[in-house]
Structure 1
Amino acid sequence: MRSAKSRLTVKFDFDLMQAICDNTEVFNNEVGYILRTYCDLKYKEWRFVPEKERAPLRDKLRTLFDVDLADANVRKAIDKQMQRAWHNYRRTLREHFKTVGGAGDLTKAKGKPYEGVSESDWEYLCNCWSDPSYLQKSLKNAESCKKRKWISRNGSKSTARHHISRGVELNAHVGHIETWRLRHWHPERGWVSVEAESKYEEMMELRREKSPEDLTDKQILEKVLGRESVRLFGWGRSPTGSKRSKGDSNIPTYTQLMDRVGELSGTVEMMKKLLIEKNIMPPMSHVPSDHCSVPLNRGSSSIDRGQHVDG
């Protein structure tokens, strides 16, 4: 491992839960490489990957980057980037699955695994992607995508990173609306949709009515697009945004609870490790767990109830 001085510095924005600095691209690429190379693929979703699997992946980042893994926020930000890399990789693998036979010719598809993926991992994924319940869910997701009114031009970068690359601070009062416009408007082809243009005009009308001190650009985005949409675009929610609407709830979602469980598990594992290193606690015997609920027999395609592989 390199010394701390020779390793690259990474700064995280804990509201956005992502790296925002000069080394962001290098960091994100390394996260993707580690995920693709070392992560066990026999989990249906990233949230099912246990802490004992995540911790070694995070630790590999310390070879190139000076990151404080004792900080719970740092671990959570790294896990969020690993989750993004997980989804991107699974999407690539599924596209390959469809091109080599897919669910229509499962035997052929199983015989042509993606480069670098083990036969057992590939068979597991093929069984998941050919399961009737998964195919039904995919069909519903495809129908939902067709109803989307516009798609941004972000590419692999989040809106926040595009914003910073323009030389504008994330917490500035203005600049967010222009960043949003640039991600939904093309200098030659114009707006990505009529709806996007209409939303921009609505934003500018509010901008003309209110001063930046009374209503920031980010708050206008939240007002026009909805707070959840702004969060999904990568901005994070404004701490001084508009009041909670009647339909909002203080009850956490299942995903939020699972994320919290993951954080607490990480803290427990780290404390155990420290106690064992100081000989306060005897080493624990690790019993391998069966996290692959999909049978690996040829031709099998059953899936656990209530869980679906992500695409």
Structure 2
Amino acid sequence: MKLRLLLALIAPLMLTGCLLSPGKFTSQLALMKDGSFSYSYNGEIQLLALSKLAEMSAKEGEKFEAQDCYDDEFEVRECTEAEVAEQKAEWDANAETRQAKKREEAEQMKLMLGGIDPSSPEAAEEFAAHLQRQKGWNKVSHRGDGLFDVDFAITGTLSHDFAFPMIEKMPMGASFVTAILRNDGKVRIDATGFAAQGAGNPWQGMMSGAMGMANLKSSDGDEDKMPNLVMPEGTFTIVTDGSILANNTDEGPEANPSGMQVLTWNVTPRTEAAPTALIDLSR
């Protein structure tokens, strides 16, 4: 039962852009008044579409399972043979509709993965190669179950907005960190992907619920079938020589030996508020 609930919860996530989740990581964003910036992410990223959960979701409904029956008091009771037979007949009658829906969802998923077929045995390697042809992705290696070890680092001039990860042909809803540049020289940083509970991100909240359910021991014998889903756990740091106008760290900014201001967030599976800051680089 728990497994079926998990599959029902995660299915819409994989079809609405919430395909990626950070696992254990270390990440840093440096913003300087001269316009230069650097960003790094070292750690785990899970692609749900290549996880065991996605495989299980694709197979869900292939085998008939009788649904609960209820008495006049709306209490669950044992179904009669006639009721089970009626359910089975309806299930058989809807077979073509179910298959058509699965084919449609498979095509949608392929489009969201930039043309990669998640059911292909080479999908993980294709995805890693897809990333490594983009600037900054120094290492992308698949550990199994849709979990990748990633080493990303990039430098440049912040003359436009920045988001990570930005993956060719994939939806922007997958971003962990965004830096939005305003006309007055202020930069707004939001790291919604680094909040497991996602108070400001309902999809991340659903992801957290799904992952929590997946990692619970089941009392109905499903524990061996449960997929391994990661949750955000690590450190996000902002380094700047600009003026920090707002932030939601516990300790506020601290000066490093170079005289830069440093903001640090320790992210755990219990983190509710996504890291956020407003920095003025014009003064």
Question: Greater strand percent: which structure?
Answer: 2
Does 1 or 2 have the higher relative contact order (CA < 8 Å, sep 6+)?
Answer: 2
Question: Greater helix percent: which structure?
Answer: 1
TM-score (norm 2): 0.26
